[in-house]
Amino acid sequence: MTGAPVDGTAEAPGVTPVHGTWEPAPAGRWEDAFLTGNGHHGALASGTPNDDRVIVTHHTLVRPNGTEHARPPRLAAELPALQDRLLAGDHRAAERFTDGRPLQWVQPFHPAFQVRLRGPGAEVRGYRRAVDFTTGEATAACAGWSSRVFVSRADDVIVQEVEATDLAVCLDHRLPGAPAGLGVGHGAFLTPEGALLSLRARYPDSDRACTGVTLVAASGGTTELVPPGVRVTSARSVLLLTRVRRHTGDLDVVAESRELRDLLDGAERPYAELLDRHLARHRTAYLRVTLDLEADPTERALPGSELLRRPAGAALLERLFAAGRYHLLSSSGLCPPRLTGLWTGDWDTAWSGAFTNDANLNLQTASAAAAALPEVTEALVDRQLPDWRENARSLFGARGVVAPAHSDGESGYACHFSREYPLHLWTAGADWLVKPLVDHDEVRGARDPRTAAVLAEIAVFYEDFLTRTGPDGHLVVVPSYSPENRPANAGWGALDAAMDLSAARHALLTAARYHPERAEAWRALAGRLPPHRVNADGALAEWAWPGLEDTYEHRHLSHLYGVWPLDEINPYDTPDLAAAAHRALELRGAENHSAHGHLHHALLAARLRDAGRVAHALREVLAGGYFHDSLMSAHYPGRDVYNADAAHTLPAVLIEALVQSTPDRLVLLPAVPDTCPRGELRGVRTRFGARLDLAWNPDGARAVLRPGRTLRVELRTSAGAEPLDLVAGEDRVLTLRTR
């Protein structure tokens, strides 16, 4: 689901090293391959002369493992008894609330194959590979050879052009972790353009398969079949067009090839013409927002691998901000980004390469509204609503919807649970997944009827679910789960998790704004929820239910959901709760140093105006070896486990440190880290409908607001608060002094 596109681009200067990265050597590992994608297809380009490999991926490529037939457990009839036991003090009762099935992950994401191009083995001189974020092109070149590849947002095809005299081309499924029982079939035949290659891979013990098709069109020379591929000799260049499809039964390869051949029909300069159509969509979206930290031009010119060895430099932050927006855009379209974005070179992806909705996906998409990328929220919600309804019925006997904590993109059923991770008890997911859609509506100043419909279903769920009361007369969220933590003195399923309270309140009050006819009832229901609790340490408690003790050493910060991404707790309207939330942040450990934990910490610190904590979290990630040479990130320090969390979340951290907005408030420079004392952020969207350009330095700042509607908002700076009147179509210039 998404709103209408955001028109216009940031007034960016010409393409600079900020808007791309490069390396002086081919990728030695698939993790270092440069990335391109259109939100459907992805490609990892190694840029290796004489034996080049482009790994092909697609969001729909998930391997059947049994969960494709799984449905949520039918536990609704047992729910009242569980609630009775939890309310009576049996704090481990929820650990028995299952149907006995073993833990099973969703269908794992996997690569399709690699397009392999072998050259004559010439000496490599003058090598360089690069990726241009403004075009989405991954290029590589040396004396006598060059390659360029992009994935078209306009035509949904992987386009590669190679300049080489002689070339052998084949589709190769042999990638790490490929199952031994994979049924592989190759096809090759000549066409008027050159040749067509196909590769069909049938999953073990399944009628499901994926088929890739590559059209090989040589300019000059001769093309001959050399099964399982082709050999091109004496050509000026070779153009390759590739698509992959996941399907049941057989795929009509002839029909697929006809579509690829149609793309070349009448084209005098096919690569350039395909690229032009793509750029109209990709470049416009990418350049809407830019960041310039006035980095040293000498550092800006360095390859990414060298910048990563200079973690304190502004040039690295600039490039990672640009790369993060590029990778986020490139991996979003059919779906939002997976744990690995849109890319993997290994069939054994960690955590199934799933959409993980209890922090990871949410963090990755954190910048979507402010960074003007509505493409990112084109997503799971519309397609999975029927499954979400079944979750609500089967698990809780309720109307409405409950989102799963994990999804493979195909199923939205809540099937992933165990004693340690009873994720089927988590009811806050739908609110978190819909929050970016609400933000986009606020940016545009128009309410998407699809967003309104989902919000109504979430509110209806709470009508049916919130039926139990505690001794104080407040409603109780029971059972309740705080991902992925538990009280120090209780079991994994508990009562009144702070996240569940915030999500229920937010969903009901937001739904009330969208549906005035139901507003009174939903606001009344929200008003019956208990307040947050402050524990003996002065910290906002992770569970508001009295007697449940906090567990501080944990990577997740679910209990501070009211601080970020919501606006429920903030230093301006709820200063006492904000102080308690800040204390909770101080007490939180890093546990296993997951990248998402550090950057989640930074987002919360920015909302709480703690620039020191923002800077510390950034240093942990920048100096901890979390980034590959591709500038895609890892889950753990030392480039351990390919994972998009850090790459996609970092832009959101920098934006939140510089600009925050609600429908009636603008906060400028709330938590500027010492890693970026000066710079210019252009094109940011506010939730009250204005574009914002901001330039700042240690002495002050200059902001230019371009409002799309007339209204008054509150302006918050280090000097305090004041009203700010905006008129649609009239620029408003603000000058701030900070010392």
Structure tokens at 432: 């978190």
- For 20-61+112-287, give the CATH class: mainly beta
Q: What is the mean predicted confidence (pLDDT) over 479-493?
A: 94
pLDDT tens readout for residues 517-575:
999 999 999 999 999 999 999 999 999 999 999 999 999 999 999 999 999 999 999 99
Residue 13: pLDDT band (50, 70, 90) is: very low
d(CA 412, CA 70) in angstroms, rounded, equals 10
d(CA 305, CA 630) in angstroms, rounded, equals 8
Provide the angle, in degrees to the nearest 10, between the axes of the packed helices 380-396 and 449-465.
10
DSSP 433: H
Cis before 479? omega within 30:
yes
Residue 126 carries which side chain, given as an amino acid letter? Answer: G
Which pLDDT belongs to residue 7? 33
- Cα–Cα–Cα angle for 180, 186, 187, nearest 5°? 170
Cβ atoms 42, 342 nearer than 8 A: yes
Q: What is the mean predicted confidence (pLDDT) over 472-478?
A: 97
Residue 5: pLDDT band (50, 70, 90) is: very low
State which H helix or E strand residue 583 sits in: helix 575-587
Average pLDDT, the chain: 94
Which pLDDT belongs to residue 16? 56
Q: How far does CA 569 lie from the centroid of its chain?
A: 25
Is pLDDT at 379 greater than 70 in this prediction?
Answer: no
Q: What is the mean predicted confidence (pLDDT) over 350-370?
A: 96
Which pLDDT belongs to residue 190? 94
**Strand pairing class (137-142; 128-132):** antiparallel
Give the number of other CB atoms < 10 A from CB of residue 735: 8
What is the spatial order of strands in the sheet that 237-248 belongs to? 20-23, 128-132, 137-142, 145-151, 158-163, 237-248, 208-219, 194-202, 183-191
Residue 377: pLDDT band (50, 70, 90) is: confident
Structure tokens at 490: 């209780």
Cβ atoms 240, 216 nearer than 8 A: yes
Q: What is the residue-wise DSSP string for 142-163?
A: ETTEEEEEEE-TTT--EEEEEE
Which pLDDT belongs to residue 277? 97
Residue 10: pLDDT band (50, 70, 90) is: very low
DSSP 301: T
Helix and strand numbers, DSSP H then E, in the chain: 16, 29
Q: Is 28 helix (H, G, I), strand (E, B) or coil?
A: coil
List Cβ neighbours of 529 (8 Å cut-off, separation of 6 or more): 466, 474, 475, 477, 501, 504, 505
Percent of the chain with pLDDT over 90: 90
Cβ atoms 72, 391 nearer than 8 A: yes
What is the spatial order of strands in the sheet that 34-37 belongs to? 34-37, 41-45, 51-58, 113-118, 167-172, 229-233, 222-226
Q: What is the mean predicted confidence (pLDDT) over 306-325?
A: 97
| 90 phi, psi to nearest 5 deg | -85, 85
Is pLDDT at 665 greater than 90 in this prediction?
Answer: yes
Is pLDDT at 733 greater than 80 in this prediction?
Answer: yes
> Mind spelling out the 3-state secondary structure of 649-712?
HHHHHHHHHHEEEECCEEEECCCCCCCCCCEEEEEEECCCCEEEEEEEECCEEEEEEEECCCEE
- Of the given ranges (307-311, 382-386, 450-454, 467-471), which has the lowest mean pLDDT? 382-386
Which pLDDT belongs to residue 9? 33
Is pLDDT at 355 greater than 50 in this prediction?
Answer: yes
Domain parsing of the chain, residue ranges: 20-61+112-287, 680-737
d(CA 661, CA 66) in angstroms, rounded, equals 44
Structure tokens at 65: 């493992």
Q: What is the mean predicted confidence (pLDDT) over 653-676?
A: 97
Which pLDDT belongs to residue 251? 86
d(CA 16, CA 304) in angstroms, rounded, equals 14
pLDDT tens readout for residues 322-342:
999 999 999 999 999 999 999
- Of the given ranges (6-20, 76-90, 672-686), which has the lowest mean pLDDT? 6-20
Dihedral of alpha carbons 501, 503, 504, 506, sign: positive
Residue 14: pLDDT band (50, 70, 90) is: very low
pLDDT tens readout for residues 26-37:
999 999 999 999
pTM above 0.85, yes or no: yes
d(CA 330, CA 227) in angstroms, rounded, equals 33
Is pLDDT at 441 greater than 80 in this prediction?
Answer: yes
Q: What is the residue-wise DSSP string for 77-112?
A: GGHHHHHHHHHTT-TTGGGG-S-SPPP-PPPPB---
List Cβ neighbours of 297 (8 Å cut-off, separation of 6 or more): none
Is pLDDT at 66 greater than 80 in this prediction?
Answer: yes
Nearest Cα to Cα of residue 395 among 307, 472, 493, 487: 493
Which residues face 163 on adjacent strands? Answer: 146
Beta-strand ranges (E) seen in 375-419 are: 406-407
Residue 456: pLDDT band (50, 70, 90) is: very high
* Residue count of the chain: 739
Residue 254: pLDDT band (50, 70, 90) is: confident
pLDDT tens readout for residues 90-148:
999 998 899 988 888 999 999 999 999 999 887 889 999 999 999 999 999 999 899 99
Cis before 5? omega within 30:
no
Is pLDDT at 3 greater than 50 in this prediction?
Answer: no
d(CA 193, CA 186) in angstroms, rounded, equals 19
490 φψ region: left (φ > 0), alpha (ψ -120 to 50), beta (else): beta
d(CA 35, CA 139) in angstroms, rounded, equals 10
d(CA 153, CA 42) in angstroms, rounded, equals 11
DSSP 139: E
Residue 458: pLDDT band (50, 70, 90) is: very high
Tokens 């040749």: give the residue: 195
Which pLDDT belongs to residue 380? 62
d(CA 566, CA 50) in angstroms, rounded, equals 52
Is pLDDT at 473 greater than 80 in this prediction?
Answer: yes
Residue 6: pLDDT band (50, 70, 90) is: very low
